Amino acid sequence: MDKSNCEVFYADVKPITYVSLICMLIILIVAPVGILNSLNGEQITPGLILILAPLFIVFLSLAILIIIAIFAISRMRYELHEAELLIVLGPRKERIPYNHIVDILVKDLSFNVLSSFRMPGVALFDVMYSDEGIVRMYSTHALKDVVLIKTLKKKYGLSPKDKEGFISSLGKHLSIEIENVSRQAEISTAERKSAKNIAEFLVWSIVIASFIICIVFYPRLPQTIAIHWDIQFNPNGYAGKFWGLFGPQLIFSSIALIPLFSKGKDREYTYEVLLPVVAILPIMQIYLILKNLGFAVNDKLIFAACMILALLTVLLAFLKAPKMKK
């Protein structure tokens, strides 16, 4: 490939990019160490290994990717060759033939909690967005002001420092007409869609926070714990602490996956309805933990809170149910 005739545009790298990557790397190193320290002296059961092993594999994989990104991000570039756009990030190269490109626009992408490698100041590889679906990102702009390139099969998100120059030069290689994007219209659309994603974000935040609660308090609980109480709030059901603590977590995590099988308004509706149900999870976990550690708990208050959330779910299901088309 003749590089003498190509134009090179570097990514718009800013300090926040490095701050985000370094902070995330620290978290990925500290979290496993903290979990292992919390298990000091605890018997490692097959069930606990089943939970922790995939988690540690994810931590390690992300840490390796972040280390590569820290060293390669400053040289991330977009090369315009005679027949293709070449994206370079360290050892990774992505080729986009010009005849595969069908549209180019500059827009603000809409946040989706189910993303992979996205954080303030950087978004890399396949990232999920609520408005565009999966976008292959090579960008230092995670959401705002992204150059979105749509091809026959994929979508790519870039962030050249010289955005106007990049788009102008790219347009000379293409047979499609590049029109100016209405920035205000894009921002308004993104803001509306971001507001609809609040319920989705809260649902998954609760699930993740509850999972952390389980890991933190697991070593402090006895091997057998109470998991059920009668109408006088006396314990009448027991289980091993692994399934007693993580069992509800697995059930509620499965419930949170239900909206992923829906699309559009149905998906938004399902997340909004499930939010009060999922909110019961941390209340149940904290109640179970405190009771089994011997702390005094206002049983009636906890029961009332769970009933209110359950009734709120039923109310939302009726009030926000999608209207049937005639």
Q: Are residues 160 and 261 in the same domain?
A: no
Task: Give pLDDT tens digits for 130-149.
Answer: 788 889 999 999 888 899 99
258 in a structural domain: yes
pLDDT at 186: 43
Is residue 79 one of the residues assigned to a domain?
no
Mean pLDDT of 241-262: 80
Same domain for 120 and 57: no
* 290 lies in the same domain as 179: no
Q: Is residue 5 within 8 Å of 79, Cβ to Cβ?
A: no
Please check whether residue 2 lies inside any domain of the structure. no
pLDDT at 192 over 70: no
Q: Is residue 82 part of a domain?
A: no
Cβ atoms of 129 and 135 within 8 Å: the answer is yes
69 and 106 co-located in one domain = no
Q: Looking at the domain assignment, is residue 202 inside a domain?
A: yes
Contacts of 194 (CB under 8 A, 6+ apart): 110, 111, 130
CA distances, 224 to each of 244, 297, 304 (Å): 8, 19, 27
Let me know if residue 92 belongs to a domain: no
CA distance 127 to 137: 7
Residue 101 and residue 186 in contact, taking contact as beta carbons nearer than 8 Å: no
Please report whether residue 88 resides in a domain.
no
Q: Do 236 and 268 fall into the same domain?
A: yes
Q: Are residues 126 and 219 in the same domain?
A: no
The model's confidence at residue 161, banded by pLDDT at 50, 70 and 90, is very high
| pLDDT category of residue 194 using cuts at 50, 70 and 90 | very low
Of 27, 59, 74, the position where a domain reaches its end is 74
Q: What is the pLDDT of residue 149?
A: 92
Q: Is 38 within 8 Å of 114 (Cβ atoms)?
A: no
Do 132 and 235 have their domain in common? no
DSSP 253-273: HHHHTGGGG--HHHHHHHHHH
Which pLDDT score, from 0 to 100, does residue 321 have? 59
- Following DSSP, what letter does each residue of 224-247 receive, concatenated? EEEEEE-TT--EEEEEEHHHHHHH
User: Closest Cα to residue 200, out of 303, 274, 138, 117?
Assistant: 274
Q: Are residues 228 and 300 in the same domain?
A: yes
Same domain, 102 and 64: no
Domain housing 62: 7-74
Residue 184 pLDDT > 60: no
**H or E stretch covering 186:** helix 183-196
* Residue of higher predicted confidence among 44 and 302: 302
44 and 138, same domain (yes or no)? no
Of 147, 163, 185, the residue that ends a domain is 185
54-73: pLDDT as tens digits:
778 878 888 888 898 899 99
How many distinct structural domains can be found in the chain? Answer: 3
Instruction: Give residue 183's pLDDT.
Output: 41
Same domain (yes/no): 61, 32: yes
Identify the helix (H) or strand (E) that includes residue 290.
Answer: helix 264-292
Specify whether 143 is located in the same domain as 244. no
Kindly state the tokens that stand for 125: 């590889």
Residue 220 · residue 293 · CB < 8 Å: yes
| Last residue of one domain, picked from the residues 133, 157, 185 | 185
Asked if the structure places residue 24 within a domain, the reply is yes
